[in-house]
């Protein structure tokens, strides 16, 4: 496994966001088994990602073996998590006969109320929408960019909500370019 990118964490300046890569052969075949073996993981089979929470961290594993992690203490912690995922994936593959793929994995669905809950809810209209709910709907439809909610991005008190919303959108397969 290796680290690919280390970025600042927007929720906590003392932490980092990390993108790494695990080294697992035929990982796309391993994914359905892995998704059913990580407690509380959500799985989007069509888009090819698994996401789960590890403490405050949001971990997203993509079918191309890339792993995105938020709220990471340091590079050492990122390496440890990557190693854990890699070992788990290998172990799961070895024991795949014991995993029932007919058992539904927890599907991840994100809706406008989920997004709204992380917005400032002030209806300030700075994004050009009359309400935060209208913004949430358009964000999910791809008609709005998350950065257009300037309150969420400019005010430090929304840092945690911002980080959580970004993590949720990324986990749901949205392209969030920051």
Among 22, 119, 169, 170, binds ligand SF4 (CB under 6 A): 119
If binding means CB under 6 A, how many residues of this protein chain bind ligand SF4?
Answer: 15
Q: Is 127 in the site for ligand SF4 (CB under 6 A)?
A: yes
Q: Is 113 in the site for ligand SF4 (CB under 6 A)?
A: no
* Joined tokens for residue 40: 């509380």
Q: Is 120 in the site for ligand SF4 (CB under 6 A)?
A: yes
Q: Which is nearer to ligand SF4, 47 or 150 (CB)?
A: 150
Q: Which stretch binds ligand SF4 (CB under 6 A): 13-21, 24-32, 46-54, 124-132?
A: 124-132
Strand partners, 59: 52, 69
Please answer whether residues 172 and 141 qualify as being in contact, where contact means their C-beta atoms are separated by less than 8 angstroms. no
Q: Which stretch binds ligand SF4 (CB under 6 A): 41-49, 87-95, 149-157, 167-175?
A: 149-157
Cα separation, 42 vs 175, in Å, equals 18
CB atoms within 10 A of CB 102: 5
Q: Which stretch binds ligand SF4 (CB under 6 A): 9-17, 48-56, 101-109, 150-158?
A: 150-158
Residue whose token pair is 């300037």: 150
Please answer whether residues 162 and 150 qualify as being in contact, where contact means their C-beta atoms are separated by less than 8 angstroms. no
Residue whose token pair is 């406008």: 112
Q: Is 118 in the site for ligand SF4 (CB under 6 A)?
A: no
């Amino acid at each position: 496994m290796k680290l690919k990118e280390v970025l600042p964490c927007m929720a906590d300046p003392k932490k980092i966001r990390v993108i790494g890569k695990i080294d697992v052969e035929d990982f796309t075949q391993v994914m359905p088994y892995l998704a059913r073996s990580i407690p509380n993981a959500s799985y989007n089979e069509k888009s090819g990602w698994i996401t789960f929470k590890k403490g405050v961290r949001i971990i997203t594993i993509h079918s191309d073996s890339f792993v995105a992690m938020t709220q990471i203490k340091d590079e050492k912690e990122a390496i440890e998590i990557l190693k854990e995922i890699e070992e788990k994936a290998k172990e799961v593959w070895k024991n795949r006969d014991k995993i029932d793929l007919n058992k539904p994995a927890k599907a991840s669905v994100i809706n406008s109320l989920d997004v709204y809950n992380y917005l400032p809810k002030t209806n300030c209209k700075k994004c050009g929408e009359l309400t935060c709910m209208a913004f949430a709907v358009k964000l999910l439809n791809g008609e709005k960019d998350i950065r257009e909610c300037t309150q969420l991005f400019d005010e430090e008190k929304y840092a945690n909500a911002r980080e959580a919303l970004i993590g949720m959108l990324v986990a749901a397969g949205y392209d969030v370019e920051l």
